[in-house]
Every structure is written in structure tokens, then in C-alpha cells.
Amino acid sequence: MKSGFLHQGCIYGSDAELLSMAVPFVRDGLHRGEPVLVTTTSANLDLLQDALGTQASEVDYAESAYFGRRPPQRATAFQRYWTRHRPTSPSGAVRILAEPVWVGRSRREVAAWKRMEAGLNVVLADTAIRMICPYDTRIVDAAIIEDARRTHPECVAGSRVEPCAQFVAPEEFARLQAPPPRRPCDDVARFDGDLAAARRHVLGEAARLLPSEDSVAMFSIAVGEAMAYLRRRNIERVTAWVRLAAGRVVCTVHSAQPLGDLHPFVGFRTPALCEQTGDGLWLTNQICEWLDISSDDSGCTIELAVPGPHAEEEHHVG
């Protein structure tokens, strides 16, 4: 078996095709004494448990919809599972069958999940996780399945493994999926100043829009970490603006100074790894609905969004 992180896709179109891959994958892991996690749809969880019979109780299960609601949280969940279950033997591994939820997502969300799939090749590179990500052709859009071949170095069909000729370097795939830099609209008030003054302005604007002290406090943490990230990269002055958009409070911070060392998957690495690499945006990425970072010759932009007042009201009503 290969050492290090092994990231494979599985494109299937029937329950039988799924089981022809999943059952041997799980059973082989159990036979080797490896921890096994299956995170997929509730229907597929039932399907696999029935097929495993008495061995079903030896596996960890999680419904995909609740195992990381957003890509940063899901990547963190994988890292935490590895940290809790990593083997003591150098040759040991952890197995994860990980099927994302694609149905019902917006274009922005689909792009973010695709980007995460590419990012796992980098974020989990130092682990000994063997991961297979199933894609169901009966319900998943053809464009998503095509990109699965670009984000997974190999594909599995039953017990057969083949390299993906379309695989793209994760950094290049992330660049193609990244949203364009946000420019301020004429009707949005902008603030120019140093980082401390910009942070005060942003928090003052957000306090008028956010519905509770708790949401303001979380927003403050997210913005504070973003400003600290810029400060560590010797950026001192920015232009900042806050607005309501699509039911969210969105903050954009722009500097005319580019980030020459922007990591393509900044914010996806857990705090322990961030301490080694100087990432520093993990917490912001966990808090926010989205975190977009871009940099080019015109400068750098950080945009983050949190749920707006109506989203929180609906949460309390539900």
C-alpha cells in the first residue's frame, strides 16, 4: 500500500457499483486493524451497514450533511479524525469514505467544495489517510463529476484503480475556481486608514447590521484575525467596506500592496499546522460563511461574510 495521503475518486451510477467499491475498501481496512470512517448520505449509510453485516459495528459513521457543513469545517473534521485515530505504527493508516453533498448548492458553494477537494491533496499531504470520495452520476451534475477527475489523482471502480489523466495540480485548480477580486460599488461607503482604524470602522458598521451581541463578537474575532494576517505581511493601510448581500453581512478589505506568498489554501490548515506555516486564518475560515482571499499586481483583497439578521431570526424560529 502507498504511504502518505491517498486521495481517490469513485464515480458510480448504481447501488451495486457503490458497494463493489465500498465493501472491499472497508473490510480491507478492518482486516488490517485500521480505523474506518464512512461519511455519506443517510441512504448510503444504511446500504453499507446492511452489506457489512456483523462488521458494521466496527466502523465510524457520519451523515455528510452534518460532517462539516462548509468546506473549511469538513477539512478540519478530517484532520481531527486523523489526529484522534492516527496509528502508532509508521506503516499504519486511517481509511475514510467521504461523499460530499452536491445537490441544492449555489454556484459559489459548488466552486468552494470543488476547491476543497483539490485542497485536501495539500492539507492532508502529511497524513496517512486513505480516502475515497464517491460521486453518484444519478444525482450529481456532469460538470462536477468531470472536475472530480481533476481533483483526485486516481479513480476507483470496484477493486480496480486507475490514474486520472485529467488531474490538475491543486494550486492551479484553486486558481481557476477562485472568485474574482471584489471591487467596491459606488453606493457603498468606503473607509481608508490603518489596520486598527479600519477594524474599528468595520466593527461599528457591522454592529448596526448584526442582530445580537454574540454575532458581533464572532464577527469581531473573524475580522481581528484577518487584520492580524495582513499585519504579519507588513500591510499597514487598507480600504474597507461593509454591506448586506444575499442575507449576509459582508466585509471587504483591500490593500494596494499584493501578497507575494499567498498560499492557495490559506485558512484550511488546523491551528497546529498554522503555527508552523504562519497561516493564521483558520479561525476566520471556521466562523465565516465564506472567506475569499485574492492577490495580484493591483493588490490584495480579503472578503468575509457572516449570516445577516434575517438568517439568525429564521434560525431561532426554526
Query: SS3 sequence, 149-189?
Result: HHHCCEEEECCEEEECCCCCCHHHHHHHHCCCCCCCCCCCC
Question: For residues 253 and 168, what is the distance between their CA atoms, to the nearest angstrom?
Answer: 30
Same domain, 36 and 148: yes
Which among 177, 207, 241 is the end of a domain? 177
How far separated are the first and last CA of the chain, in Å rounded? 48
The answer to whether position 52 is within a domain reads yes
Is residue 294 situated within a structural domain? yes
230 DSSP 8-state letter: H
Domain of 285?
Answer: 191-317
d(CA 227, CA 287): 15
Q: Which residues of 240-272 are buried (b: 16+ CB within 10 A; e: fewer)?
A: bbbbeeeebbbbbbbbebbbeeebbbbbbbbee
The span from the CA of 284 to the CA of 225, in Å, is 6
Q: Which of 177, 204, 231 is the last residue of a domain?
A: 177
**Is residue 119 included in any domain, yes or no?**
yes
Question: Directed axis angle between helix 42-52 and helix 15-31, to 10°?
Answer: 60
Same domain for 139 and 266?
Answer: no
Distance CA 46, CA 225 (A): 41
Residue with cell 467596506: 241
Do 172 and 220 have their domain in common? no
The answer to whether 98 touches 161, Cβ cutoff 8 Å, is no
Structural domain contains residue 101: yes
Give, for all 318 residues of the chain, the pLDDT tens digit. 455 899 999 999 999 999 999 999 999 999 999 999 999 999 999 999 999 999 999 999 999 999 998 999 999 999 999 999 998 777 789 999 999 999 999 998 999 999 999 999 999 999 999 999 999 999 999 999 999 999 999 999 988 999 999 999 999 999 887 766 666 566 678 899 999 999 999 999 999 999 899 999 999 999 999 999 999 999 999 999 999 988 899 999 999 999 887 888 888 877 765 555 556 799 999 999 999 998 888 899 999 999 988 654 444 433
- CATH number, domain of 97, equals 3.40.50.300
- Residue that terminates a domain, selected from 177, 202, 222: 177
SS3 assignment, position 134? strand
Q: How many domains does the chain have?
A: 2
pTM of the model: 0.88
Indicate if 101 and 196 belong to the same structural domain: no
Let me know whether 127 and 269 are in one domain.
no
What CATH number is given to the structural domain containing 309?
A: 3.30.565.10
72 and 118, same domain (yes or no): yes
Is residue 203 assigned to a domain? Answer: yes
Same domain, 213 and 154: no
Residue 185 domain flag = no
Same domain, 142 and 19: yes
